[in-house]
Amino acid sequence: TDGPTILGIETSCDETAAAVVRRGVDGRAIILSNVVLSQIAEHQAFGGVVPEIAARAHVEALDGIIRAALDDADLGLGAVDAIAATIGPGLVGGLLVGAMTGKVIAAARGLPFIGVNHLEGHALSPRLSDGLAYPYLLLLVSGGHSQILLVSGLGDYERWGSTIDDALGEAFDKTAKLLSLPHPGGPNVEAMAAKGDATRFALPRPMKGEARLDFSFSGLKTALRLVAEAHAPLVDQDVADLCASFQRAAAETVADRIRRALARFRERFPEIAQPVLGVAGGVGANADIRAALKAECESAGARLVAPPAALCADNGAMIAYAGLERVEAGRTDPLDVAVRSRWPL
Ligand code: KG4
Ligand code: ZN
């Protein structure tokens, strides 16, 4: 018979999301629905996410998004076995909206509640999309985080590298801002880069060749700003070439770190014939970065698990799935569990 069915709620940043995920008879997780409402339009005029606007938008949208997730799954709440909601890290106002809503549903229906770490949601998303086994390497690249993690089991994460300054998504977003492209930067930089020449501007590959697995993107950002200033006023082709050059530098930088991480994984787990690299976070949707990772995995005899873009970016399915693994492990939370703006894995 089927395993548990989980309703997941995600409100930590600027997407209001809900999803229903079930453990199927064959042991694989099934995404029964995955509804995401982006607040991009609300924040666009401000060039970034405004916490107070985000929280209010979550309040207005969340009930309808949960209703839509249940409708898409063709289920009533009676078929749901537990409620999972992101309780951190993120913007506290939004976290409170999602956590309170999830707790109220759990209390009213007498269901278990799971307060999910958003980063754990990202970290487990390759298991949701692929069913891969522990342990695996994870590259998490989002607007707030750039990390290389060893994922050994549920709740068992070792951080092998992180950024010493900007997150990769943040670097994309700042590049977009500098070049007057709309927020959020990543998809717009990628679209412009497709029309550009990645070899026109020589930008640095920060940390390349260094033994430790950390990232740094502020030097790349500064180099880009200096090139942009030197070529002002920029015409469209300059912007496209700058985007392409930046994206190539970012992809090569990430590939270099991953090469080292895969080598370290091999040393640690010599018995694993084919290591797996999972990708998560909004930047994981970037085709150039995915291609660079694929090439790196191929030459290292590893397998790349890059979930579809909708599961890389913030979504409710990854939260429901983290809740599913936690329910199966008997690790649910009391209803007074608190939200946390900062919460490293
Ligand atoms: O995981 P996510 O949706 O939210 C966070 O938890 O941060 O990631 C959002 C980040 C933003 O910085 C956005 O610009 C970036 O992911 N992003 C991309 C692409 N799509 C989203 N960066 C590069 N290329 C993309 N196609
Ligand atoms: Zn995220």
Tell which one of 36, 38, 49, 172 to mutate to probe ligand 1, the residue whose CB is within 8 A of the most ligand atoms. 172
Provide the 3-class DSSP secondary structure of residue 151.
strand
Annotated binding site for substrate: 140-144, 173, 186, 190, 286
- Number of other CB atoms surrounding residue 201 within 10 Å: 21
> For 222-265, what is each residue's pLDDT tens digit?
999 999 999 999 999 999 999 999 999 999 999 999 999 999 99
pLDDT at 241: 98
Place domain 5-125+311-328 in its CATH homologous superfamily.
Answer: ATPase, nucleotide binding domain (3.30.420.40)
Structure-token match 């949601």, residue found: 121
Instruction: State what percent of residues in the chain have pLDDT above 70.
Output: 100
- Number of other CB atoms surrounding residue 330 within 10 Å: 7
Which of 89, 17, 87, 11 minimizes the C-alpha distance to 55? 11
The stretch 318-329 carries a mean pLDDT of 98
Q: Is the CB of 144 under 6 A from ligand 1?
A: yes
pLDDT at 54: 87
Distance 324 CA to ligand 1 centre (A): 25
Distance 71 CA to ligand 2 centre (A): 25
pLDDT band per the 50, 70, 90 thresholds, residue 166: very high
Domain with CATH 3.30.420.40 in the chain: 5-125+311-328, 135-308
pLDDT band per the 50, 70, 90 thresholds, residue 1: confident
Q: Is the pLDDT of residue 305 over 80?
A: yes
Q: Is the pLDDT of residue 40 over 90?
A: no
Mean of pLDDT over the chain: 96
pLDDT at 90: 96
Distance 244 CA to ligand 2 centre (A): 24
Burial (CB < 10 A; 0-12, 13-18, 19+), residue 199, is exposed
Tell which one of 120, 139, 142 to mutate to probe ligand 1, the residue whose CB is within 8 A of the most ligand atoms. 142
Q: Is the pLDDT of residue 80 over 90?
A: yes
Q: Which atom of ligand 1 is nearest to the CA of 14?
A: 4
Pairing of strands 82-88, 5-10: parallel
Which amino acid, one-letter code, is at 269?
F
Sequence-ordered list of residues with C-beta below 8 angstroms from that of 34, at least 6 positions apart, any chain: 17, 19, 69, 72, 310, 311, 315, 316, 317
CATH label, 135-308, candidates 1.20.120.1200, 3.40.50.880, 3.30.420.40, 3.30.479.10: 3.30.420.40
Q: Which atom of ligand 1 is nearest to the CA of 144?
A: 7
pLDDT band per the 50, 70, 90 thresholds, residue 64: very high
Q: How far apart are CA 311 and CA 198, in angstroms?
A: 28
Contact 178, 228 (CB under 8 A): yes
The stretch 189-218 carries a mean pLDDT of 94
Which of 18, 64, 16, 63 minimizes the C-alpha distance to 40? 16
Distance 122 CA to ligand 2 centre (A): 7
Q: Which atom of ligand 1 is nearest to the CA of 185?
A: 14
Contact 236, 244 (CB under 8 A): no
Identify the residue whose C-alpha is closest to ligand 1 atom 3: 313
The stretch 158-185 carries a mean pLDDT of 94
pLDDT band per the 50, 70, 90 thresholds, residue 179: very high
pLDDT band per the 50, 70, 90 thresholds, residue 42: confident
Q: Where are the alpha helices (DSSP H) in the chain?
A: 40-44, 51-73, 92-109, 118-130, 168-178, 185-193, 218-230, 236-268, 287-300, 309-312, 317-328
Distance 154 CA to ligand 1 centre (A): 25
pTM score? 0.95
pLDDT band per the 50, 70, 90 thresholds, residue 24: very high
Annotated binding site for Fe cation: 118, 122, 314
Q: Is the pLDDT of residue 50 over 90?
A: no
Sequence-ordered list of residues with C-beta below 8 angstroms from that of 223, at least 6 positions apart, any chain: 203, 204
Angle at 134 between CA 132 and CA 135, to 5 degrees: 120
Starting from the CA of residue 146, give the closest ligand.
1
